[in-house]
Amino acid sequence: MADTKKVKEETVIVQDDAARVINQAKGFWEKNKKLILISGGAIVLLVGGWFGYNSLISEPNNEKANEAIWKAQQYLEKDSIKLALNGDGQNAGFEKVAKNYGGTKAGELAKYCAGLCYLKLSDFNKAVTYLKDYSGDSKALQAHAFRLLGDAYSELNKNDDAIEYYAKAGNYFTEDEGQSSESLFRAGQKSEVIGKNENAIKYYKEIKEKYPKSERGYQVDKYLARLGVTD
């Protein structure tokens, strides 16, 4: 009997708690239903807007950007750098594509190519501007953009920035051993130039450990030996 009574008491407590929770929920709904409905509607609008943006704006923009960039790419392949960058009067160059279609894949590629063009034209500040603004899906291209940033900063005698981006490039897309080891090698070389030999040793050792079969991996022992590291 005692157990039955205890069960009944616990049942009443549970029922009371449940009723209190339900009443609280009802009260919360009554107080906040307008906000909840607005929030729910906003979510629906956001999702719908995302689909609408992709189908009506993003995809057409991608197509337009792809059409706009092809001639500039041809000029770049022919090493006609100014035409690639500025266009030929009828076809857009990388700068215009980057400005008009930033955020599309072709628009982002145009930023990378514009940075590369300015680097070739020795306008290193503009090269930095475009390469830092580049953000693409390709890890290989992003790693190369980091390395080009290292080159641009090196030309500007901003050596710490150059080393930072060479190191980023060396560790961003490690599947490409040749590019990664070359970027780390440049970080090591630049570190030596400014007298940071400990950092240079660190980068050379990283090449030896991570990319021993790369071209720089085969060469790096002599650079370490020059800095007194022979093991």
Give the mean model confidence (pLDDT) for residues 166-180: 95
- Can you give the pLDDT at residue 97? 93
H or E segment and range at residue 137? none
Total Cβ atoms within 10 A of residue 208: 21
In a 3-state reduction of DSSP, which class is residue 104?
Answer: strand
More confident site: 148 or 57: 148
> Over the chain, what is the mean pLDDT?
81
Closest by alpha carbon to 172, among 188, 148, 154, 200?
148
Task: Evaluate whether 133 touches 111 at the Cβ level (below 8 Å).
Answer: yes
Gap between the terminal Cα atoms of the chain? 84
Task: Give the tokens for residue 53.
Answer: 């943006």
Report the pLDDT value the prediction gives residue 9, as an integer from 0 to 100.
Answer: 43
Write the pLDDT tens digit of every residue in 131-149.
999 998 899 999 999 999 9
Higher-confidence residue of 10 and 223: namely: 223
pLDDT at 150: 97
**Under 8 Å between Cβ of 125 and 156:** yes
Give the homologous superfamily in CATH for domain 138-231: Tetratricopeptide repeat domain (1.25.40.10)
CA distances from 212 to 9, 13, 31, 112, 177 (A): 75, 71, 67, 30, 9
Q: At how many degrees (to 10) do helices 59-77 and 105-120 cross?
A: 30
**Strand pairing partners for 104?**
102
- In this structure, of 32-46, 66-80, 145-159, 174-188, the range with the lowest mean pLDDT score is 32-46
Is residue 187 pLDDT above 60, yes or no? yes
Q: For 60-64, 101-105, 126-130, 202-206, which range has the lowest pLDDT when averaged over its residues?
A: 60-64
pLDDT tens profile 8-36: 444 444 444 444 444 544 454 455 545 43
The domain limits of the chain are 138-231
- Residue 140, token pair as written in the block: 């290989």
Contacts of residue 17, defined as CB under 8 A and 6 or more positions apart, other chains included, come to none
pLDDT at residue 56 is higher than 90: no
Closest CA to 189 of 175, 174, 204: 204
Q: What would the pLDDT profile of 62-118 be if each residue is shown by its tens digit?
A: 777 788 888 999 999 999 999 999 999 999 999 999 999 888 888 999 999 999 999
